[in-house]
Structure 1
Amino acid sequence: MSEDTEFKQEWAASAGNHQDALAKTPTQLDQPKSLVNEIAFVGVVCAAQLMTQAGLSLAIAPLHIISKTFNASAKELTWASAAYSLTVGTFILVAGRLGDVYGHRLLFIIGFSWFGLWSILAGFSAWSNLVFFNFCRAFQGIGPALLLPNAVAILGHTYAPGPRKNMVFSFFGATAPGGYSLGATFSSLFAERVWWPWGYWVMGIACFMFAGLGILVIPRTSEEETQETQNDNLHWFVRLDVVGATTGITALVLINFAWNQGPVIGWTMPYTYALLIVGFIVLAGFLIIERKVTCPLLPQSVFKGEVAWVLGCISAGWSSFGILVYYYYQFLEVIDGNSPLLATAKWAGASASGACAAVTTGFLLGRISPSIIIFIAMLAFTIGQIMLATMTVGQTYYAQAFVLMLVTPWGMDMSFPSGTVIMSNSMPREHQGVAGSLVNTVVNYSISLGLGFAGTVESYVNDDGNDILKGYRGASYMGVGLAGLGVILASCFILISWVRRERNPKDVQSVQTV
C-alpha cells in the first residue's frame, strides 16, 4: 500500500471527527532564513493589522468634513464607522475557514486586493450619496476580514510556541494604534488641505502594493500544494460549513444592524427591535447547528476553560475602546473646536505608547500568567474611559486627554497579543485560521456593537440633540460600564486560573504554555 493511499484511508476513516480529520494536513511553514527576510516577512504580515486600523480611522477623524459633502448629520455618519467594523467582525470567521481550506497566503493576497478596490470606490462615492458611501465602507471591511485571520494563521504556521512567537504576535498587535494614527493623520490632512476622497484613494493604492509584496515575501504554504487530496475526501460544502456560516453571518448582521440603526432612526420603529429579536433567534439556531455539523466554524473547545474567559474579556474591553476612540474625536472636534488634524496630533502619542505596551507584553508572555496580563489590559481600558467621561470643557490637554491617550493603548496591545497567542497555541496548526478568526472577530465586532450601545445611550440622554455634551458623557459612561465588566471578568479569570493550579499544579493548561 502506498503512503498516499494510506493517508487517504486514514483521512476518510476519521472524517466524522473534525479535529482528527484536519490534523492530518501538514501545514508547517519554514521560518525566514535571514534577518532581512524575516523583517520583510513580518512587516508585510503585520501590515494587515496596520491597514485595518487605518481603515477604521478614515471615517472618524474627518467625520464632520465628510458629513458636509453628503449634507448629513454626524449621527447619520456613525454608520461610516459601524458598517466597516460590522463586516470586519462578521466575515472574519468565514475568512479564517477559507484560509484553512484554500491557503492562507492566497486569502491574504485577495484580502489586500479587495481592500484596495473598495477603498478606491469609497473615494468615488463623493460624487454619489451617503448610502453608497456607507455601502462602500461595509464592503471595504470585508478586505480586513480576509486579511486578519489569515495573517495570524501565517504567523502561527511559521513560529512554534516560544519567546520568538510571543514577540512576533506582540509586534502584530503593536501596529494597531500606529495604524489608526496613520490613517487619521493622512485622512485629516487630505480632508483639510486637498479633498477627503484622496485619503481613500491613497489607501487603495497602498493596499494593492501590499498585495504585491505579499506575493513576493510570503512563501506558498503546504496546504495550497495538497489541496486536491483534501478535497477528494471532504467536500468543500462540508469543510466550509456553508450552512453554519450563512446562519452565523445572518445572525451577526441582524443583531449589529439593529443596535446601530436604532440610534439613527429611533427604537420606536418596529423593524429595529424586530430585527434584533430575529437576530438572536437565528444566533441560537447557529449554535445548535454548530453542535451537529462535521466541521463546525467554532470548535467546542472554544467555549470551554480559559479560552472562553479570554474572549469574554476581549469583547468587553474592545467594545469600550470603540466608544472611547470615536467620542474622543467628537469631544475634541465638536466641544473643544479642534480641527481633525489637531485632534489626530493629540492622539498620535498612542502609537509610541502602544509599541511600548506590545514589547512589554512580548516579554511578559510565558513569564507571568496570561490572566494577569488580561487583567492589566482591562484596567487600562477602564482608566482611559473614566478619563474621557470626566473631561471638562476647555481643560488643558495634558490634564486628562494626554493621559488617556497614553493609557488606552496598553489595553489594546496587552489584550490582543496575549489573546491571540493563547488561541494560536490552544489549536493545532491546521486550525490556525480559526484561531486567528476568533480573536479578530471578537475585537472588530465588539467595536461596532459598542458604538451601537453608546449611540443608543447618547440619543436618549442628549435632550433631542439640544445637549450634545450630555449625550457624549452618557455614551462615555456606557464605555466605562463595558470596560468595568472586562475588569470583573478578568478578576474571575485570575481566580479560576489560581484554583486550577492549586488543584492540579502539574497540569499544564494550553493557555499557560505561551
Structure 2
Amino acid sequence: MSPVAQGSAIPSKVFDTASHSLDEKKEHVAVEAVRELPSGASSDADTDDDDEGVPDIPAHLAISLSHVSRNLSRRLSQTNSRAPGGEELEPAQKKHQHRPKEFSTVTAEITFIAVCSMSLMMFSFLIGNVTANQQQLRDALGLKNAEIPWINGAFTTANGLSVVISGSITDLMPPKGLLVGSFLGITIWHVVGVFSITPDLKILFFVVRALQGLFVGVLVSGSISILGRVYKPGLRKNRVFSAMAACAPFGFWLGLLQGGGLADHLKWVYGSNAIISGAFCLAAYLSIPDLQPVADKPGQKAVSMRQFDYVGAALAITGCVCLLFGLTQGSVVHWAPYTLALIGVGAAAIVGLFVAERYVERPMIPTTLWQVKGFMPLMLAYFLGFGTFFGGWQFFAVQFWLRIQGAAPMTVALYFLPNAIVGVLATWIVSRILHLVPGHYIYATSMICFTMGSVFFLPQTPTTSYWALGMPGVALVTFGPDLAFAAASIFITSNVPRSYQGSAGSLLVTNQNLSAAIFTSIAEAIGGRVDAGPEGEIGLTGLRAIWWFALASQLVAALITIIWVRIPKEEEKEHAS
C-alpha cells in the first residue's frame, strides 16, 4: 500500500487519541506537539484504493497528523509517568493518580479531606484542651486529685464504646448521615458543657465528656471508612492518610493552647468549640459524597445492616467498656474488688469475641486480616509503643511541668509546640517514602522514637531548662505516634476489602484506646506505690519510675518490630478482596 493510502487510514486513530488525551491534559501539549512538526513533509508515492469508503487526503497532511500523534503520545507519557512530587511512576501506578470520580474539582477534594481529617484532630483536640488546665478544672468542679483521670477517662471510655462498633456500621450503611449527625451531636453537647462546669453539676460535666467521646468515635471510624473507600491503595492514598495523621499532633497542641489560654475562662473552652464543630457540621454536609455500601467480593450483593454482627458487637462493647471503666476507676479507688471484677469480665468478653468471630457469617473484622504476615506483631508493637507514649510519658510530662516545675498552663501548651511542627513533618515524610521503602523501616523508626520521651525526661530536675532536655525530647518523641499511625493505618486498610474500611480503622483506634487506658492505670499504680503525696499526687521519684517502665516497654516494642514486623512497599493496586 502506498504512503498516501496508508495516510488515509490515519485520521480516525489520531483524532481518537488526541480527543481522549486532551480531555485529561492541558491544551498546550497539543500546541507544543504541532510546533515540532517537520517542515515540508511530503511523499511522492502513488495512491492506492485498497481502503474503500475512506476518503483520501494529501500525503503531507497524513504524515503531519502522524507526527502529531507521536508527539502527543510522547508528551502525555512523560506527564503521566511522574507523580505530583516529580518522582517516576511505574506504568501500573499511573491510573491511580487521578482525582477520584466523587469530586468534580480539586477544591471539593481538599474540603472533603479536611473534614475527614478533622475527626482525628477533634479526638486529640478534646484531650488536649483539658490537659494543660486540669488543675483549674479540678478546682472548678471540686474534684480530688485521684479523680482527675476521669476528666479524660470519661471521654476515652465512651470513645472506645463507639469506635468498636461504629466502624462496622459505617461500612454497612451510607456514612454521610452518621458523620454529619456526629458533628451536630458534638456541637450540642459543647453547648451543654458551657453550663456544666460547677461543683453541683460535675456529674453532668462527665456526661458531656462521655458523649463527646461517643460522637468523636463515630467520626474517626467513619472518616477512615470513607477515605478507605474513595482512595485505592497507592501514592495518593498514602498522602491523604498522612495528611489525616498529621492532624493528631497538631490537634493536641491546639487543644493545649486553647485550654491554657482559656484556663481562667473555662466556659469559653466549650463555647468556642461549639462554634468550630458547628462550622464543620455544615462543611461535612456539603462535602461528603453520598457513598453507598459495597460488596465484600466482586460479583456479590452490596452489604447491609442485615449482616451486622450483633453477637460480636455485644461482646466488643462489654469487653471495652468493662476494661476501660475498671482500669480508669481502679487507680481512683485503689483497685477495689469491683474494679478488678470489671477488668476480669472485660478480658473474658474480649477472648469470647475472638472465638465468636470464627463462626459468624460476616465478622466485624475479616478473618483474612489476622492471617496477613506481620499483622499481629504490628498490633502488639503499636499497643506497647502508643500505650506507653500516651499513658506512660505524655500525661506525666504535663504533670511534671505543672506540679514539679510550677509552669503556667499556657507555658505548658507552648512547650508542646514542637509536637505540632514535628508531627506534620513526620507524616509528610511517610507520604513521600512509603512507596519507596518497606514500611517496617518506618515502623521500627517510630518505635525507637517512642523511647525518646523517657530518655530525655529521666534526667530532669525541678530546675532543668526546657531548652536543654524538654524541647528535644518533645520533638523526637513526636515521630513515634505519627510515623506509627500513618504506616499502620495505610497497611491495615490496604489489606481489607472496600466494604471493611471502617472496621479496619476502628480496630487501630480501639488498640489506641485500650493501650492508653491500660498503661495509664499501670503507670498510676507504679508512681503511687513509689512516691505518692498526701493528696494522691505523684512526686518526681514516682514520675521517674513511670518513665523507666515506659522506656522498657517501648524497647520491647522496637524489638518486636525489628524481628517480626514486615510491611512491603506500598504499591498502586485495587482494594483487597
Q: What TM-score results when the alignment is normalised by the length of structure 2? A: 0.76
Judge which range, 162-171 or 113-122, deviates more. Answer: 113-122
- The CA distance in 2 between the partners of 1:168 and 1:115, in whole Å, is 24
1:45 aligned to which of 88, 91, 116? 116
Q: 1:275 to 1:511 in 2, by over 3 A?
A: farther
Gaps of 5+ in 2: 1-98, 296-300
1:89 aligned to which of 160, 167, 176? 160
Task: Please say if 1:362 is aligned against 2:431.
Answer: yes
Check whether the contact 2:319–2:346 (CA below 8 A) recurs between aligned residues. yes
- The CA distance in 1 between the partners of 2:127 and 2:364, in whole Å, is 26
User: Which residue in 2 is equivalent to 1:422?
Assistant: 491
Task: Using the aligned pairs only, state the percent identity.
Answer: 24
1:482 aligned to which of 532, 540, 553? 553
Aligned AA (2:105): S
1:435 aligned to which of 493, 504, 511? 504
1:330 aligned to which of 395, 399, 414? 399
Aligned AA (1:81): N
Aligned AA (2:383): S
Q: How many residues align?
A: 468
Gaps of 5+ in 1: 1-27, 227-231
Judge which range, 40-49 or 123-132, deviates more. Answer: 123-132
1:314 aligned to which of 365, 378, 382? 382
Aligned AA (2:186): F
Task: Please say if 1:243 is aligned against 2:311.
Answer: yes
Judge which range, 124-133 or 37-46, deviates more. Answer: 124-133
Aligned AA (1:313): A
CA-to-aligned-CA distance 1:282-337 (integer Å, 9 cap, x gap) = 22222222112112112222323222222222211111121222111111011101
Q: 5 Å matches for 1:88-107?
A: 88-107=159-178
Q: 1:486 to 1:97 in 2, by over 3 A?
A: same
1:66 aligned to which of 118, 132, 137? 137
Task: Please say if 1:217 is aligned against 2:217.
Answer: no
Aligned AA (1:333): L
Task: Please say if 1:393 is aligned against 2:462.
Answer: yes
User: Which residue in 1 is equivalent to 2:361?
Assistant: 294
User: Which residue in 2 is equivalent to 1:381?
Assistant: 450
Check whether the contact 2:233–2:573 (CA below 8 A) recurs between aligned residues. no
Aligned AA (2:280): F
Q: 5 Å matches for 1:200-211?
A: 200-211=270-281
User: Which residue in 1 is equivalent to 2:208?
Assistant: 136
Aligned AA (2:342): L
User: Which residue in 2 is equivalent to 1:284?
Assistant: 351
Q: 1:297 to 1:255 in 2, by over 3 A?
A: same
What do you get for the CA RMSD once the two structures are aligned?
Answer: 2.7
Judge which range, 334-343 or 292-301, deviates more. Answer: 292-301
- The CA distance in 1 between the partners of 2:157 and 2:302, in whole Å, is 34
Check whether the contact 2:527–2:538 (CA below 8 A) recurs between aligned residues. no
Aligned AA (1:277): G
User: Which residue in 1 is equivalent to 2:337?
Assistant: 270
CA positional deviation for 1:213: 0.4
Aligned AA (2:375): V
Q: 1:119 to 1:483 in 2, by over 3 A?
A: farther
CA-to-aligned-CA distance 1:146-180 (integer Å, 9 cap, x gap) = 01111112111222221111011111000111100
- The CA distance in 2 between the partners of 1:144 and 1:31, in whole Å, is 25
Task: Please say if 1:450 is aligned against 2:519.
Answer: yes
- The CA distance in 2 between the partners of 1:397 and 1:468, in whole Å, is 19
3-state secondary structure, aligned to 1:191 = coil
CA positional deviation for 1:29: 6.3
3-state secondary structure, aligned to 1:291 = coil
CA-to-aligned-CA distance 1:45-77 (integer Å, 9 cap, x gap) = 111111111011122110000000122233311
- The CA distance in 2 between the partners of 1:158 and 1:234, in whole Å, is 17
- The CA distance in 2 between the partners of 1:130 and 1:311, in whole Å, is 36
CA positional deviation for 1:512: 13
Aligned AA (1:154): I
Judge which range, 241-250 or 170-179, deviates more. Answer: 241-250
Check whether the contact 1:123–1:201 (CA below 8 A) recurs between aligned residues. yes
- The CA distance in 2 between the partners of 1:87 and 1:301, in whole Å, is 29
- The CA distance in 2 between the partners of 1:433 and 1:132, in whole Å, is 31
Q: 1:161 to 1:283 in 2, by over 3 A?
A: closer
3-state secondary structure, aligned to 1:285 = helix
Q: 1:435 to 1:30 in 2, by over 3 A?
A: farther
Aligned AA (1:387): F
